[in-house]
A and B are shown apart, each in its own frame.
Chain A
Amino acid sequence: MTGLLLSTLNPQLSTAAPRASMSPLEHAPLLARDWLVSIFPAPLQWLVHHLITIVAVLAVFGLFFAFLTIVERKLLGRIQNRLGPNRTGPFGFLQPFADAIKALTKEDVVPAAADKLLHLLAPVVVCTFALMTFAVLPFGRELIPVELDAAVLYFFAAGAASELAIFMAGWSSRNKYSLLAAMRALAQLISYELPLLLAVVPVIMLSGTLSTQSIVLAQGGWTFGVLPHWNILTPWGACAFLIFLIAALAETNRSPFDLPEAESELIAGHLTEYSGFKYALFFMAEYFGMTALCGLGVTLFLGGWQAPFVFLEFIPSYVWFGVKLFALILVLIWIRGTLLRLRIDQLTRLSWKLLVPLALINLANAAFWSLTADLPPLFQIARWVVSIALVVIPFVLIGRRLSTGLAPRTYRYA
């Protein structure tokens, strides 16, 4: 049914059938896995099959996390005209391992008044939920840990649950700063879950499926061989992607929305009473969550593992996924190096007064786009104009309304 829907929506859609131009490396990971599975006796094979997938995801994204921390610190340093860490190994690239050893050998302090069990469980739970989201991301043409029909739904269910763990951490620490941070995290979650989901709905509407792999396949194909059919290259897709990006920043508690761990106000937020490896687990979960959400953004809007040009298809699909994921994360680091932290009222105002209305209008825009797909070529230009206007005009109007009386600020006594 999905295929039928896709072909009616997008006549130039490329099928998932393997092509001659594809590299033999494309199948290498799967062949390696099948070979490993075949070593084990038949009754164990299903277990080994899944375990290998889990281990592969853990190893790849564990390493990715490790090097992401050093890349982030280096880039933030460069943005501030500093050098960043460069003492451990060549260019400081062994820094994450030094950090890991330090975190492991540190004393684990649990407050006397804390709820010991919840205090221990919170970092485990937050890491678990962050890792669970990786299960439905299509890393390549054939690389997807679990093929679910309701993959997007599953992703958001698992992703939102990590806020529960943050609240667990805040509550069990019996520390007022931790608790305040946890309350903020919940307020933030409620504010930003809505625009995040509303930004994803147009994609689901137009591809007619909740399966991430089918969504990626729906973005296949190129016009003239150079213009990919990615969702971000449509007016509604660009708008939805920006809303998704902003909401994803807030969901993962990253700057400029890192209110739950605003160190100038809340010491370290919900991490105040955590030390040693538990702290490292929270840190890891934050980066896993960010990576997973960026992976979803790549899947939904940036064509997933699809190559940007036809002639670049010989590069394996999982490389393309990795490149896009890394590029998106670099954008997040860039934003972190640029913007200031918002106040809690500014945070909720941005969501409820700007992102939610824009996302709702964008939903109508996507519906319009979907209904006018079969118009003759002459009308296609009008379709683009109307669609772009549906994005730009509400943004300008709402933006003007929101910013009247706020800027520029004058300092009378400074």
Chain B
Amino acid sequence: MLGSGILKGLAVTAKNLAGSYTTPERMVTVEYPEKRLPLPEAYRNFPFLVTENAEDPMGTLRCVACQICEKECPPQCIYIEKSKDKKPDATGKLQLYPAVFDIDISVCMSCQICVEVCPFDAIKMDQVFEIAAPDRFNDLLLHREQLAKPNTYYHQIHPTEAAEVDARLAAERQAAAEKAKAAAAAAAAKAAAAKAAKPADAPSAEAPKPPPAA
């Protein structure tokens, strides 16, 4: 009969109306500032700088100021100044560090190219999205102090990726240690050979030990 479809439709909407008060699962709305949905692990936007130690973020930046990201960045939003001195990095090697590392968030397009080109796993994608600020010039230009976040935070937001990175870095460190040990052993052997060749030279002095490998 004419109009039966209208009655059916009215029944559906009435059911929705009543159901929205009785069954909260029906509701599609999450009241955002108070409640939030967990972000998917693959979600990423805006880069941050990884530090090894949360206690001393500026001292343990992984970044060595190689400026590859600065050159690759398509919108040119990264600005780096190299340091004058050097600090030992994670593998104990003396490296430069960024005296200035700025990212203009208002220009950054979250393309992740800086992350892909970084040979030191020093820059990674963040999950921040609430970065609105009243001053678009000063508040949206992030300095290295604001960009530095500890490795534990990286583990929090991207657990799988961070585990991979850590495994790779550990392997590199081990390789470096073994290489140093091998080099030390070789140096020791060389010294021993030299001593054997000239035993009368300095019998009292033992072969000088190479500095212990880091």
The reply to whether B31 and A78 contact each other, CB–CB distance below 8 Å, is no
The reply to whether B29 and A334 contact each other, CB–CB distance below 8 Å, is no
CB 8 Å contact bits of A80-92 with B (1 = contact, 0 = none): 1111000000000
The reply to whether B9 and A339 contact each other, CB–CB distance below 8 Å, is yes
The reply to whether B6 and A81 contact each other, CB–CB distance below 8 Å, is no
Q: A83 touches which one: B6, B14, B17, B29 (CB < 8 A)? A: B29
The reply to whether A338 and B12 contact each other, CB–CB distance below 8 Å, is yes
Q: Is B39 among interface residues, defined by CB-CB distance under 8 A?
A: no
Q: Pick out which of these stretches binds chain A: B18-26, B87-95, B192-200.
A: B18-26
Q: Is A29 among interface residues, defined by CB-CB distance under 8 A?
A: no
Q: Is B117 among interface residues, defined by CB-CB distance under 8 A?
A: no
A398, B1: Cα distance in complex, Å = 10
Measured as residues with beta carbon below 8 angstroms from the partner, the interface class of chain B is 20 to 34
Within 8 A of B (CB), among A357-414: 395-396, 398-400, 402-403, 407
Q: A82 touches which one: B13, B21, B28 (CB < 8 A)? A: B28
Given contacts A395-B2, A399-B1, contact A81 B28 (CB under 8 A): yes
The reply to whether A400 and B16 contact each other, CB–CB distance below 8 Å, is no
Q: Is A337 among interface residues, defined by CB-CB distance under 8 A?
A: yes
CB of A247, distance to nearest CB on chain B (Å): 15
Within 8 A of A (CB), among B11-49: 12-14, 16-17, 19-21, 26-29, 31
Q: Is B10 among interface residues, defined by CB-CB distance under 8 A?
A: yes
Closest to B12 in A: A338
Q: Is B3 among interface residues, defined by CB-CB distance under 8 A?
A: yes
The reply to whether B10 and A335 contact each other, CB–CB distance below 8 Å, is yes
Q: Is A54 among interface residues, defined by CB-CB distance under 8 A?
A: no
A61, B21: Cα distance in complex, Å = 29
Q: Is A79 among interface residues, defined by CB-CB distance under 8 A?
A: yes
The reply to whether A339 and B6 contact each other, CB–CB distance below 8 Å, is yes
Q: A334 touches which one: B3, B14, B20, B26 (CB < 8 A)? A: B14
A334, B11: Cα distance in complex, Å = 10
Q: A399 touches which one: B2, B29, B31 (CB < 8 A)? A: B2
The reply to whether A338 and B1 contact each other, CB–CB distance below 8 Å, is no
Given contacts A335-B10, A338-B9, A338-B10, contact A80 B2 (CB under 8 A): no
Q: Is A75 among interface residues, defined by CB-CB distance under 8 A?
A: yes
A83, B28: Cα distance in complex, Å = 9
| Chain A residues with CB under 8 A of B27 | 81-83
The reply to whether B2 and A400 contact each other, CB–CB distance below 8 Å, is yes
| Chain A residues with CB under 8 A of B6 | 338-339
| Chain B residues with CB under 8 A of A396 | 1-2
Q: Is the interface of A mostly helix, strand, loop or mixed?
A: helix
A407, B2: Cα distance in complex, Å = 10
| Chain A residues with CB under 8 A of B14 | 334
A85, B2: Cα distance in complex, Å = 36
The reply to whether A81 and B19 contact each other, CB–CB distance below 8 Å, is yes
Q: B29 touches which one: A82, A354, A395, A400 (CB < 8 A)? A: A82
| Chain B residues with CB under 8 A of A399 | 1-3
| Chain B residues with CB under 8 A of A400 | 1-2
CB of B142, distance to nearest CB on chain A (Å): 30
Given contacts A335-B10, A337-B13, A338-B12, contact A81 B20 (CB under 8 A): yes
The reply to whether B31 and A83 contact each other, CB–CB distance below 8 Å, is yes
| Chain A residues with CB under 8 A of B3 | 399
| Chain A residues with CB under 8 A of B2 | 354, 395-396, 398-400, 402-403
The reply to whether B17 and A78 contact each other, CB–CB distance below 8 Å, is yes
CB of A331, distance to nearest CB on chain B (Å): 9
The reply to whether B16 and A79 contact each other, CB–CB distance below 8 Å, is yes
Given contacts A334-B10, A339-B6, contact A80 B16 (CB under 8 A): yes
| Chain B residues with CB under 8 A of A338 | 6, 9-10, 12-13
CB of B24, distance to nearest CB on chain A (Å): 10
A75, B20: Cα distance in complex, Å = 10
Q: A81 touches which one: B5, B9, B16, B31 (CB < 8 A)? A: B16
| Chain A residues with CB under 8 A of B31 | 83
Given contacts A81-B26, A83-B27, A83-B29, contact A75 B10 (CB under 8 A): no
| Chain A residues with CB under 8 A of B26 | 81
A81, B13: Cα distance in complex, Å = 9
| Chain B residues with CB under 8 A of A402 | 2
The reply to whether A334 and B13 contact each other, CB–CB distance below 8 Å, is yes
CB of B13, distance to nearest CB on chain A (Å): 4
Closest to B33 in A: A87
| Chain B residues with CB under 8 A of A82 | 20, 27-29
A78, B27: Cα distance in complex, Å = 9
Closest to B31 in A: A83
| Chain A residues with CB under 8 A of B16 | 78-81
CB of A388, distance to nearest CB on chain B (Å): 15
| Chain B residues with CB under 8 A of A83 | 27, 29, 31
- Per CB-CB distance, the 7 closest pairs between chain A and chain B, nearest first, are A399-B2, A78-B20, A338-B13, A338-B9, A79-B13, A81-B26, A83-B29
Q: Would you give 15 A-B contacts (Cβ < 8 Å), ordered by A? A: A78-B20, A79-B13, A81-B16, A81-B19, A81-B28, A82-B20, A82-B27, A82-B29, A83-B31, A337-B13, A339-B9, A398-B2, A399-B1, A399-B3, A400-B1
Q: Given A78-B16, A83-B29, A403-B2, list of 11 further CB < 8 A pairs?
A: A78-B21, A81-B26, A82-B27, A82-B28, A83-B27, A83-B31, A334-B17, A339-B6, A339-B9, A399-B1, A400-B1
